Amino acid sequence: MDSVADARLHVLFFPLMAQGHLIPIIDTARLFAMRGVKVTILTTPLNRPHISPIVQRDRNFGVEIGIQQIRFPSVEVGLPENCENASSISDPEMLLKFLKAINMLQQPFEEILQEQRPDCVVADMFFPWATDVAGKFGIPRIVFHGSSFFSLCVQDSLSRYKPHANIASDLEAFVVPCIPDQIEMTSSQLPDDLQDPNNIGEFHKSIWNSDERCYGTLMNSFYELEPAYAEHYRKAMGRKAWHIGPVSFSNMDFTEKAQKRGNRAAIDEHECLRWLDSKEPNSVLFVCFGSMPRFNSTQLREIAMGLEDSGHPFIWAVLRKAEEEPWLPDGFEERMEGKGLLVRGWAPQVLILEHPSVGGFVTHCGWNSTFESISAGVPMITWPLFAEQFINEKLVTMVLKIGIAVGIKTWSLFSEGKELVKRDAITKAVTSLMDSGEEAEQMRSKVGELKESARRAVEKGGSSYADLTALIEDLRLHKRSAV
């Protein structure tokens, strides 16, 4: 029998209950399990069904992942009983309740750690208290942000130097100080808890504070994508970090790509691929704004008309609640027969992006979507909405130069008060990207190179493969020294 120090390393993963966090953390957990690490994913009862089929399929291939449940206090905070995932949140009041419920997980999380005693906890940024709770048991806590080095560097600069403090208006540009590139932003593009420089939000502060004290950061990125920022994060900001992405590459075959990604697709995947097979290479635009429904009918109609006017074939995934009012222009679906494929609900995004007919992606710049697009070699039209998406847009359009901005100016979490993008602006962006001008071709070629770098990064000997090896070795050493 092995001694305690030599026993298998056990890592507990604790993702936020939101598809944009669950999906990459599950992919990450699988990468650890494939390297022989004992892995447990901690989640709530209603999020378990998103994970169970993945775990079941992996088990058939000899990869063992455990699931541990933690009760979500929806009713105690005044949320509906079935609300355990951020995709069900539709207004600011619900959001506050959701955040309150998340905070209430601290005590049960502590009890689980006491019982399980893993060797390491990879906990989402949304659980800043996880650093101290894990610390009580001498367990290293690694934070998972689900964003890029670039984004963390920009946010650090904004919190530290407050460049927006002396700016006259929300729309006046300022330069983000002390980062490797000259990046301009406006206050209106910042997450609301960063917008007021004199009062950086408490939540943001607690996340930052917890990050500074935790064992390190796990990044779904690869070194060659943003080397200057990987260096800046480690050297100038002094943080320990491991880049192990693209974690979506852990899904190898059709079934994994089709069925392992969050929800069940609202379209038959084979039908979707057949439709794409019938189109020319790089001719189709994929339009999808992540896992949270965020547009009102007026905006959806403008998108429909903008796409129609552009004349390019498209697949458009639209998440709407069933009871919402009609939103398609009259006769749209008939006119778009054969030209446009509407997915009413969850689309098999990774499968679509990887199809050679897809030549552009209209994205809200959630990091997973952005990174999946890069990993598939697809240039983007950027349409950021909330979270750190405006920062991701800067990475795409100003640093990597692999996308065209649709021109959104203002951060907004819910559809109320959201800036309306008119059909003309949409058509213009689509035409610029899809009509093979010189600039578009340069973007296509650049993102194609990044796709190849991404593939090399996760192969044996690649930078992400090596960093995952280094992290697992680091944790093994830590475990031995802790005995």
Tell me which residues are annotated as active site: 21, 124
- Judged by CB under 6 A, the stretch of 15-23, 40-48, 58-66, 416-424 that binds ligand UDP is 15-23
Which of 128, 140, 366, 384 binds ligand UDP (CB under 6 A)? It is 366
Q: Which residue is nearest to ligand UDP (CB)?
A: 20
- State which of residues 288, 300, 405, 433 lies at the interface with ligand UDP (CB under 6 A): 288
Per CB under 6 A, 347 contacts ligand UDP: yes
Q: First-to-last CA distance in the chain?
A: 16
Nearest-10 Cα torsion for 12, 18, 23, 26: 10
Amino acid residing at 424: D
Q: Does 317 bind ligand UDP (CB under 6 A)?
A: yes
Judge contact between 250 and 27, C-beta under 8 A: yes
How near is the Cβ of 22 to ligand UDP at its closest, in Å?
A: 9
Nearest to 374 by CA among 440, 439, 447, 446: 447
Region binding ligand UDP by CB under 6 A among candidate stretches 128-136, 283-291, 295-303, 470-478: 283-291
The answer to whether 65 and 29 are in contact (CB under 8 A) is yes
At a CB cut-off of 8 Å and minimum separation 6, what does 60 contact?
A: none
User: Which class for 342: exposed (0-12), middle (13-18), buried (19 or more C-beta within 10 A)?
Assistant: middle
Stretch of 19-27, 170-178, 236-244, 267-275 contacting ligand UDP, by CB under 6 A: 19-27
How crowded is the C-beta side of 330, counted as CA atoms within 13 Å? Answer: 0
The verdict on 405 binding ligand UDP (CB under 6 A) reads no
Q: Given the complex with ligand UDP, which of 347 and 429 has the nearer CB atom? A: 347
367 near ligand UDP (CB under 6 A)? yes
- Which of these ranges, 2-10, 234-242, 344-352, 456-464, lies near ligand UDP under the rule CB under 6 A? 344-352
Nearest to 72 by CA among 61, 60, 83, 62: 83
Which residue do the tokens 């004349």 mark? Answer: 311
19 contacts ligand UDP (rule: CB under 6 A)? yes
Residues in contact with ligand UDP, counted by CB under 6 A, come to a total of 19
φ/ψ region of 20 (left if φ > 0, alpha if ψ in -120 to 50, else beta) reads alpha
DSSP 93-132: HHHHHHHHHHHTTHHHHHHHHHHH--SEEEEETT-TTHHH
351 binding ligand UDP? (CB under 6 A): no
**462 makes contact with ligand UDP (CB under 6 A):** no
Least distance from ligand UDP to the Cβ atom of residue 316, Å = 10
| 373 vs 366: CA distance, rounded Å | 11
Query: Considering the complex, what minimum distance in angstroms separates the CB of residue 423 from ligand UDP?
Result: 23
Minimum CB distance to ligand UDP, residue 458 (Å): 16
The total of other beta-carbon atoms located within 10 Å of residue 384's CB is 27
Q: Which of residues 245-274 bind ligand UDP (CB under 6 A)?
A: 261-262
HSE, CB side, 13 Å, CA atoms: give it for residue 241: 32
Determine the 3-state secondary structure of 155 from DSSP.
helix
Task: Tell me the residue type at 123.
Answer: A
> In this complex, which beta carbon is closest to ligand UDP, that of residue 262 or of residue 377?
262
From the list 88-96, 345-353, 411-419, 459-467, the region that binds ligand UDP by CB under 6 A is 345-353
Q: Does 41 bind ligand UDP (CB under 6 A)?
A: no
State which of residues 341, 350, 374, 381 lies at the interface with ligand UDP (CB under 6 A): 350
Closer by beta carbon to ligand UDP, 392 or else 463: 392
Asked if 290 is part of the footprint of ligand UDP (rule: CB under 6 A), the reply reads yes
List C-alpha distances in Å: 144 to 28, 79, 123, 185, 239. 10, 26, 6, 25, 13
Q: Which two tokens stand for residue 168?
A: 């006259």
The residue (of 120 and 352) whose beta carbon lies closer to ligand UDP is: 352
- Per CB under 6 A, 285 contacts ligand UDP: no
What is the distance, to the nearest Å, from the Cα of residue 392 to the centroid of all Cα atoms in its chain? 10
Which region among 71-79, 165-173, 288-296, 412-420 touches ligand UDP (by CB under 6 A)? 288-296
In DSSP terms, 217 is beta-bridged to: 143, 241
Shortest gap between Cβ of 220 and ligand UDP (angstroms)? 10
**Residue type at 15?**
P
- Compute CA 259 distance to the chain's CA centroid, rounded to the nearest angstrom: 18
Please state the closest distance from residue 166 (CB atom) to ligand UDP, in A. 32
Q: Is 315 in the site for ligand UDP (CB under 6 A)?
A: no
- Kindly identify the residues of this chain, within the stretch 371-400, that bind ligand UDP according to CB under 6 A: 372
Stretch that binds ligand UDP, among 120-128, 286-294, 431-439, 458-466 (CB under 6 A): 286-294
The smaller minimum CB distance to ligand UDP, of residues 113 and 287, is found at 287
102 within 8 A of 128, measured Cβ to Cβ: no
By the rule CB under 6 A, 368 interacts with ligand UDP: yes
Distance of CA 146 to the CA centre of its chain: 5
Per CB under 6 A, 314 contacts ligand UDP = no
User: For ligand UDP, which is the closer residue by CB, 108 or 293?
Assistant: 293
Task: Give the binding site for ligand UDP (CB under 6 A).
Answer: 19-20, 23, 261-262, 288, 290-292, 317, 346-347, 349-350, 366-369, 372
